[in-house]
Each structure stands twice: as structure tokens, then as C-alpha cells.
Amino acid sequence: MKIGIIQSPVTNDKKTNLTNAEGFIRQAAEGGADIVVLPEMFNCPYYNAAFVANAEPADGPSTARLSAAAAQNGVYLVGGSIPLLEEGHIYNASFVFDRAGRRLAVHKKVHLFDIAIDGGQVFQESATFTAGDAVTVFDTEFGKMGLCICFDFRFPELARLMALEGARCIFVPAAFNMTTGPAHWELMFRQRAVDNQLFTVGVAPARSYEGYVSYANSMVVSPWGDIIYRAEEKPALAVVDLDMAQIDSVRRQLPLLSARRTDLYAVSHLPRP
């Protein structure tokens, strides 16, 4: 399975961002990609006012162009994320399309990025976004794939649920910042891959020093925890080949998922004072 990683730049103009994305998708397809992945908020800058200004319905211009790009290039497309306007609420949402441009899945970010790090980043997604409430796994010819968005991936329970539902790879459109990125980006993708014995794919916007500063460093990690691919900070396009047989090989060698003691993991089994 070949993954097209698109670490695209994000401008203040939605049409420019969509046009850039279409060009990258075409190049990834020409390079043999089966599944192409865009970054979190690839169509608008990452700040609350931009989310409101660029919010659109599920059948809006961004999803229409993503669907067309998937069909025209014959690829599965994980469309990063966009601000989705639905019934008066705005969601940080990722749309997935199959090779014919049909919608396969929509993931609404379930853990909103509300943080205040001493000496670092302060942000409150909940000032604009409503949280989703579903675990997202979708089918492909290569097996089931998991999908979540950025801050979602910090919660190991969510990744484990996707693995238990059969996910062979977890795609994570994300935009870590310059405080959390150097500290946790690589660590998190390697840890989730090792814990769940699957591939993890994180795709971020290219770094810009205007407004929100993305750590970038888009990454692909193997079920053994090896870094297969890592971008730097600039715009980047890569097609990365994943050996899906490695998943079963690693799980045979270290039977972590099958050896779980779920009879002991409930909170009721914790010792009482």
C-alpha cells in the first residue's frame, strides 16, 4: 500500500489552498499513491476566526473538489480536515473518499484542543468547534483504516478502539505547534504504533511563521516503531510504501493484542484504600 503524504502550505485564501491541494494530489497519484492524505485545516489558517469564516456544509466547495480529485486521480483521499458547518454547529472534520470519489467516512474531532502550556501555546478550539462523538474506521481494498484528528491521537484509548475494530493503519491529519511538536510528536506516533502494532501516519501543514506555527514533520511509523518517513518543515510531497504483511509478522512475534487481560482492566479492579 502506497501512501501519498502532502505537507502543504496553508494561505489565507481558500481557493489557493484547494488548488494547491489538487496539484499535490495529482503528483502523489502520478507517483503511485493508493491513499493520499492532507493536513489538518488544509483549506484555511488554524485560528478560530478563520474556522468561522471558512466553515461550509458537507456538500460545500471543499468536499466537492476533494471528491473530484479522488475520482480524477483514482486514489483514496483522506481530506485532511476542514471547518464543517452542520445544524448550526462547526466541527473540525475529516472527509474520506474512495477511488471513485464516493464518500467513505467523516470523522469529527472528538477531543478539542483546549490548552494553556506554561511559557508556550494557549489555544481553545471549544470556543468555535463542537466535539464529535464517534470512533472512525473505514474499509479499503487493503483492509480497515482508522482516522482521527490531531489532539485525538493523544488519547491511547481511541487508538486502541480503532485497532480493536480492525484498523491496520491510523491516519492523523494534525497541526502540532512549536511547543508540543518537539516534545511529543515523534514519541506519540511511535508509541501508538508499538502499542497497537499497526502503521501510524501523521500529516501536518508546512511551517509558516505567520499566525499559528505548525511543527510540520509529517511522519510514517511502522508497527515495530521504526520511522519510515519524516518530512522537515518545508512543503513536502512523498509517496511511502507500506508493507502490510509486517503487521501480522509483528503481532505473531509479540502477541500484545491477543494477550490483553481485559478481565483486570476495569476500574472496579483497582485496590481500594
Q: Could you give the residue numbers annotated as active site?
A: 40, 109, 150
List the one residue out of 231, 216, 214 whose CA is nearest residue 45: 214
Alpha-carbon distance values, 267 to 79, 259, 271, 272, 273 (Å): 37, 19, 9, 11, 14
Query: Grid coordinates in use for 265?
Result: 482492566
Query: For residue 202, what is the enclosing H or E element?
Result: strand 199-203
CA distance 149 to 93: 8
Residue 211 carries which side chain, given as an amino acid letter?
Answer: G
CA distance 270 to 267: 6
Place of cell 509486517: 246
Query: Grid coordinates in use for 35?
Result: 491513499
Query: Grid coordinates in use for 214?
Result: 505548525
